[in-house]
Amino acid sequence: MPYKILEKRELGNSGILFEMILHTPLIAQKAHAGNFILVRVNETGERFPLTIADYDREKGTITIVFQVFGKSTKLLSHQKIDDEILDVVGPLGNKIHIQKYEYPVVIIGGGVGIAPCYPQAKELKEAGNKIITIIGARNTGLLFWREKMRSVSDELIICTDDGTEGIKALVTEPLEELIVKEKISIVIAIGPLIMMKYVAQTTDGSGDLPKVKTYVSLNPIMIDGTGMCGGCRFSTVDGDIYFACVDGPDVDGHMVDFENLLKRSMRFKDQEKESLDKYDHECKALDKFQNEVS
Ligand SMILES: Cc1cc2nc3c(=O)[nH]c(=O)nc-3n(C[C@H](O)[C@H](O)[C@H](O)COP(=O)(O)OP(=O)(O)OC[C@H]3O[C@@H](n4cnc5c(N)ncnc54)[C@H](O)[C@@H]3O)c2cc1C
Ligand code: FES
């Protein structure tokens, strides 16, 4: 059953971040913070995972936000309003645990990882928690959803690597200050693996700061999303093996072997580049053909 794109907009001013609202009534009914979908744009497309960044049960819609990395995300970015996506499977993965915590919850979103933080902040806020959100990106052009994040946060801290907006800092700097200043019940971090690794290191109690329970949202390669293929497996620092699609994607950040995961995330770089180059070549050939016939 195809799924219609009801809305599409570019986020920030980098030309690589997009938000889409999809008509997926059955998925919208069941969606919760932490869930993701698998998308296949057309018959020749790959299946790839995207987090449900928002949902509207009444309208039967879900919101996705994605960054163009390679062939599949570029193909998705070329779709227009009213186009239909061939397959959308979900909601997949575990929803996050929601409870009222004694102390504030700190939610950290880095880059495109800001979007998946929204439903988590929203559901935790609705449960009565004090939410302190930190969002960060390389520069102001890669930041988005400031007001949306503010609407579900008691405090919003903005960071950029180059100081073009908010404080010139990595997200771990305000996190350290918060942990020194007050008691924090949990930290949730969603963003690049390297960011999540350093957040987990900041809160693991190994340095001068107290230990704070920390969840990270893992994004290894996923194929079936249902625990069958093993593509998304990750190991813990104790050597245990888990599958991010069915055991996560949100997991205890202090148990993740980030070095191993970082290595695994680079394994298919050559094939991914080849696939993107082939797609770009096909797009150029199609443009040339359309220019010639028009
Ligand atoms: C649970 C989960 C949720 C995600 N949510 C989002 C999101 O909300 N927004 C967003 O922009 N991105 C999200 N991602 C990452 C997104 O799936 C990849 O960016 C996308 O698959 C890249 O495909 P590509 O063909 O464009 O790029 P490629 O050139 O194929 O790959 C670029 C990089 O993307 C990653 N990747 C490639 N294929 C997959 C795959 N099948 N599964 C997972 N990662 C892959 C790899 O790290 C790879 O190096 C999520 C990943 C996971 C696992
Ligand atoms: S994606 Fe296949 S086991 Fe997780």
Residue 41's nearest CA partner among 12, 70, 17 is 70
Mutational test site, ligand 2, from 222, 242, 251, 261, max ligand atoms within 8 Å of CB: 222
Mean pLDDT of 5-9: 98
Q: Residue 76 pLDDT > 70, yes or no?
A: yes
pTM of the model: 0.91
- Write down the pLDDT at residue 293: 59
Amino acid at 103: Y
For ligand 1, atom 40, the nearest C-alpha belongs to 221
- Write down the pLDDT at residue 162: 96
- Write down the pLDDT at residue 2: 80
Q: What is the CATH number of domain 3-92?
A: 2.40.30.10
Q: What is the CATH number of domain 105-265?
A: 3.40.50.80
Taking the CA of 49 as reference, the closest ligand is: 1
**Ligand 2: does its nearest atom lie under 6 Å from the Cβ of 223?**
yes
Confidence category of residue 285, pLDDT binned at 50, 70, 90: low
Find residue 62's DSSP bridge partners: 22, 55
- Write down the pLDDT at residue 112: 96
Backbone angles phi, psi at 237, to 5 degrees: -65, -20
**Ligand 2: does its nearest atom lie under 6 Å from the Cβ of 47?**
no
Taking the CA of 75 as reference, the closest ligand is: 1
Task: Give the separation between CA 90 and CA 196, rounded to whole angstroms.
Answer: 25
**Ligand 1: does its nearest atom lie under 6 Å from the Cβ of 72?**
yes
Confidence category of residue 222, pLDDT binned at 50, 70, 90: very high
**Ligand 1: does its nearest atom lie under 6 Å from the Cβ of 289?**
no
- Write down the pLDDT at residue 265: 75
**Ligand 2: does its nearest atom lie under 6 Å from the Cβ of 245?**
yes
Q: For the residues of the chain, what is the DSSP string, one character each?
A: --EEEEEEEE-TTSSSEEEEEEE-HHHHHH--TT-EEEEE-STTPPPEEEE--EEETTTTEEEEEEE--SHHHHHHHT--TT-EESEEEEEESPPPP----SS-EEEEEEGGGHHHHHHHHHHHHHTT--EEEEEEESSGGG---HHHHHTT-SEEEEEESSSSSSEES-THHHHHHHHHHS--SEEEEES-HHHHHHHHHHHSSSSSSPP-EEEEE-----SSSSSSS-TTEEEBTTS-EEEHHHH-SEEEGGGB-HHHHHHHHTTTHHHHHHHHHHHHHHHHHHHHHHHHH-
8-36 per-position pLDDT tens digit: 999 988 899 999 999 999 999 999 999 99
Task: Give the separation between CA 56 and CA 262, rounded to whole angstroms.
Answer: 34
**Ligand 1: does its nearest atom lie under 6 Å from the Cβ of 222?**
yes
For ligand 1, atom 1, the nearest C-alpha belongs to 219
Confidence category of residue 277, pLDDT binned at 50, 70, 90: low
Instruction: For the chain, give the percent of residues with pLDDT over 90.
Output: 85
Mean pLDDT of 185-214: 96
For ligand 1, atom 24, the nearest C-alpha belongs to 70
Taking the CA of 234 as reference, the closest ligand is: 2
Q: Residue 261 pLDDT > 80, yes or no?
A: yes
Domain-by-domain residue ranges, the chain? 3-92, 105-265
Backbone angles phi, psi at 61, to 5 degrees: -125, 155
Taking the CA of 249 as reference, the closest ligand is: 1
For ligand 1, atom 6, the nearest C-alpha belongs to 50
**Ligand 2: does its nearest atom lie under 6 Å from the Cβ of 231?**
yes
**Ligand 2: does its nearest atom lie under 6 Å from the Cβ of 155?**
no
- Write down the pLDDT at residue 271: 65
Residue 114's nearest CA partner among 152, 70, 80, 77 is 152
Contacting residues for 184 by C-beta, under 8 A, at least 6 apart: 103, 104, 105, 106, 132, 178, 212
